[in-house]
């Protein structure tokens, strides 16, 4: 079992930056591929970024490519999402997720989820 707790979400102006963090506890963090997803109201939760267990590979959704950077620190059991040049359309509840093995862009492939942290970008 892995417990995930996100933090760092807040209100920010368009063009600004935020860094989200996800602290993991429980089983060996380095065994898990990690990802960030986001959800707006009742819309489907959508993929944002993922990172492999050893940080060899990262991938991003097209709307955030070039603006967001995912990283992890296995010694600290932490995964982060650096978000730059934020836009109002980035407003969402951001979730951290983990799965054993290779990463995926699909929500149903992840076993572990945090409770989410709200990011609001004002225009």
Q: Under a CB-based contact definition with an 8 Å cutoff, are residues 1 and 61 in contact?
A: no
Task: Give per-residue pLDDT as tens, 15-39.
Answer: 999 999 999 997 789 999 999 999 9
Share of the chain above pLDDT 70, in %: 100
Question: Mean per-residue pLDDT for 91-112?
Answer: 96
Q: Under a CB-based contact definition with an 8 Å cutoff, are residues 12 and 23 in contact?
A: no
The SS3 assignment for 64 reads helix
- The answer to whether residue 123 scores a pLDDT higher than 80 is yes
Task: Give per-residue pLDDT as tens, 93-103.
Answer: 999 999 998 99
């Amino acid at each position: 079992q892995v417990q995930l707790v996100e933090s760092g979400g807040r209100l920010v102006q368009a063009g600004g930056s935020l860094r989200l963090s996800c602290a993991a506890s429980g089983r060996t963090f380095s065994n898990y591929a990690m990802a960030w997803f986001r959800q707006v109201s009742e819309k489907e939760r959508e993929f944002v970024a993922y990172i492999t267990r050893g940080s060899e590979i990262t991938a991003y959704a097209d709307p955030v490519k070039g603006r967001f950077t995912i990283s992890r620190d296995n010694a600290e059991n932490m995964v982060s999402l650096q978000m730059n040049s934020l836009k109002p359309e980035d407003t969402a509840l951001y979730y951290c997720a983990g799965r054993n093995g290779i990463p995926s862009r699909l929500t149903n492939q992840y076993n572990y989820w945090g409770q989410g942290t709200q990011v609001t970008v004002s225009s």
